[in-house]
A and B are shown apart, each in its own frame.
Chain A
Amino acid sequence: AQSVTQLDSQVPVFEEAPVELRCNYSSSVSVYLFWYVQYPNQGLQLLLKYLSGSTLVKGINGFEAEFNKSQTSFHLRKPSVHISDTAEYFCAVSDGGGGNKLTFGTGTQLKVEL
């Protein structure tokens, strides 16, 4: 069984400040890790993913994440946020099997303020 923990339900930050959204996972097997963004009343859009290889993954909209196997973490970062980054962010894990079913964290609401 897999699980994903997003400790921060809400993260307020001022525009142009850096931000980190935390994600920890647990799994007994190797996993694939994902970050998705959701705008109000919309589906999810993939920001980035880690499958293998380099532990630093760069995604869209200036986001990046680092896979840390020893700490079972996959924190999302952006050096300078914009108002348009205000959204819900979900971390997810898949074991790559069984049709790649995703297990999601509870989400982090990023609120960028002027």
Chain B
Amino acid sequence: GAVVSQHPSWVICKSGTSVKIECRSLDFQATTMFWYRQFPKQSLMLMATSNEGSKATYEQGVEKDKFLINHASLTLSTLTVTSAHPEDSSFYICSVNRGTEAFFGQGTRLTVV
């Protein structure tokens, strides 16, 4: 399998500030990583596909200027929530595909106050 580590596990930030979430593939070089968002008691919604060395591909309805994704190396992708607002509070999860299987990070609980 693949080991995926996400950091931080939880973060509380003030409205208007930016927050960076890291997703690391610890034992596998990933040219592609995926970022999901999960609201309480709801399913995971794909936000964007992070591509190493190129621009991320965003799903319809996701603001690329709001959710900045950087995939600078084969083992690290970052999601930055810019000018966060309370409605951005959610659980963010990244994943890495190895073959036909997806491996998920442990998620980041973001609370904007």
* Given A99-B49, A102-B46, also A42-B100 (CB < 8 A): no
Q: How many residues of A contact B (CB 8 A)?
A: 24
Whether B49 contacts A90 by the Cβ 8 Å rule is no
Tell me whether A43 is interfacial, beta carbon within 8 Å.
yes
B12 at the interface (CB under 8 A from A): no
Nearest CB in chain A to that of B97: its residue:
A100
Residue interface bits B6-19, CB-to-A below 8 A is 1, else 0 = 10011000000000
**Chain B, 36-47, contact with A by CB distance < 8 Å: what is the 0/1 string?**
000001111110
Q: With contacts defined as CB atoms under 8 Å apart, how many contacts are there between chain A and chain B in the complex?
A: 59
Secondary structure of the B contact surface, majority rule: strand
CB of B65 closer than 8 Å to a CB of A: no
B43 touches A51 (CB 8 A): no
B51 to chain A, nearest CB (A): 9
- Chain B 51-91 per-residue mask, 1 if CB under 8 angstroms from chain A, else 0: 00000000000000000000000000000000000000001
Contacts of A34 in B (CB 8 A): 102
Closest 7 CB pairs of A and B: A43-B104, A44-B104, A104-B43, A43-B106, A106-B43, A99-B32, A100-B97
Q: Which residue of A lies closest to B42 (CB)?
A: A106
Question: What residues of chain A lie closer than 8 Å to B109, measured between beta carbons?
Answer: 41
Q: How far apart sit A79 and B34, CA to CA, in the bound complex (Å)?
A: 34
Q: How many residues of B contact A (CB 8 A)?
A: 26
Which residues of B does A touch, CB under 8 Å?
A: 4, 6, 9-10, 32, 34, 41-46, 49, 91, 93, 95, 97, 100-107, 109
How many angstroms between the C-alpha atoms of A43 and B6 in the bound complex? 10
A109 to B42, CA, bound (A): 10
**Which A residue's beta carbon lies closest to that of B49?**
A99
A106: chain B residues within 8 A (beta carbon): 42-43
Known interface pairs A100-B97, A101-B34, A102-B102; A107-B107 also in contact (CB < 8 Å): no
